[in-house]
């Protein structure tokens, strides 16, 4: 393991933390950037496992609120329904992720052109969703009905295709189903916790026999970098979305998608 590989892992970890919670596809960015850097991880585990660092950022920032929900569970029906809603939203991705794991890792993750395409298409979709006039009926994640949580979870499954964006799919789905922008982004935060922990545990289990000490070192570097970068994003994202909406992220997706196609054309 040389210094360049360590530097690449650090850069990719920062990119993961900066992009995990915004609707631009952290996985798409990691795979595309890794392709041009020549970064290869064993079984594409690095790109999945370092996401837990970003999830730890949510747990750190939302620790007080999560504790209040946990304490309220025995006596507060709203708290119990909220937790049940998150679990229902997580269920579709858990089932499809297990069933399609091999296809996702060995086929979809290995197609930079597909990632560029989904980044572009997702950017146009997000731009359309951000501009249409929607009348929110749900503005508090604690009041989301169970059916709404489950359908948002179905939207999350679109992110099995790299470049679609887990947060982008859930946010766009939530907005189309009648939520406001701030609560849609916040629900995506909460849904990320079981989703990413589940992805981490399953991917680690599937690749436990092929990971080396060097792999573990790179993952640790990426994990720490994604955690630190993720803290900054989580702290400021909701206020940013309230002021500016999702159009800036849509334009970023389009720029990255076009740049990716240009890079593939020029250097392969």
**137-164 pLDDT tens trace:** 999 999 999 999 999 999 999 999 999 9
Region of poorest pLDDT, from 53-62, 111-120, 207-216: 207-216
Contact 1, 215 (CB under 8 A): no
- Any domain includes 265: no
Q: How many domains does the chain have?
A: 1
Residue with more model confidence, 63 or 148? 148
Residue 42 above 80 pLDDT?
no
Please provide the average confidence, as pLDDT, over all residues in the chain: 90
Q: Tokens 């849609």 appear where? A: 184
Rounded to an integer, the average pLDDT of 109-134 is 91
Confidence of residue 1 (pLDDT cuts 50, 70, 90): low
- Any domain includes 257: no
Residue with more model confidence, 222 or 133? 222
Rounded to an integer, the average pLDDT of 49-71 is 89
- Any domain includes 42: yes
Domain that holds residue 200: 3-250
- Cα separation, 167 vs 133, whole angstroms: 21
Tell me: the pLDDT tens digits for 167-210?
999 999 999 999 999 999 999 989 999 998 888 888 888 887 87
Residue with more model confidence, 205 or 96? 96
- Any domain includes 109: yes
- Any domain includes 77: yes
Rounded to an integer, the average pLDDT of 225-236 is 90
């Amino acid at each position: 393991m040389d210094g360049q590989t360590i530097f690449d892992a650090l850069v990719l970890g920062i990119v993961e933390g900066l992009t995990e919670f915004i609707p631009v596809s952290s996985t798409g960015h990691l795979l595309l950037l890794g392709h041009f850097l020549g970064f290869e991880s064993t079984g594409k585990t690095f790109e999945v496992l370092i996401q837990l660092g970003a999830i730890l950022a949510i747990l750190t920032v939302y620790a007080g609120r999560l504790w209040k929900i946990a304490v309220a569970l025995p006596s507060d029906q709203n708290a119990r329904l909220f937790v049940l809603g998150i679990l229902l939203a997580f269920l579709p991705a858990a089932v499809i992720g297990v069933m399609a794991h091999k296809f996702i890792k060995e086929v979809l993750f290995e197609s930079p052109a597909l990632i560029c395409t989904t980044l572009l298409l997702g950017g146009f979709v997000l731009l359309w969703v951000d501009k249409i006039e929607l009348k929110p009926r749900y503005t508090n994640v604690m009041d989301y009905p169970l059916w709404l949580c489950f359908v948002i979870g179905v939207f999350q499954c679109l992110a099995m295709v790299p470049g679609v964006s887990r947060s982008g799919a859930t946010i766009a789905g939530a907005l189309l189903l009648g939520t406001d922008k701030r609560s849609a982004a916040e629900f995506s935060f909460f849904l990320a916790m079981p989703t990413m922990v589940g992805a981490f545990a399953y991917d680690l289990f599937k690749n436990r026999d092929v990971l080396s000490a060097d792999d573990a070192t790179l993952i640790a570097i990426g994990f720490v970098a994604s955690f630190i970068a993720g803290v900054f994003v989580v702290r400021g994202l909701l206020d940013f979305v309230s002021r500016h909406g999702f159009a800036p992220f849509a334009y970023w997706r389009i720029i990255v998608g076009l740049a990716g196609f240009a890079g593939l054309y020029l250097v392969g």
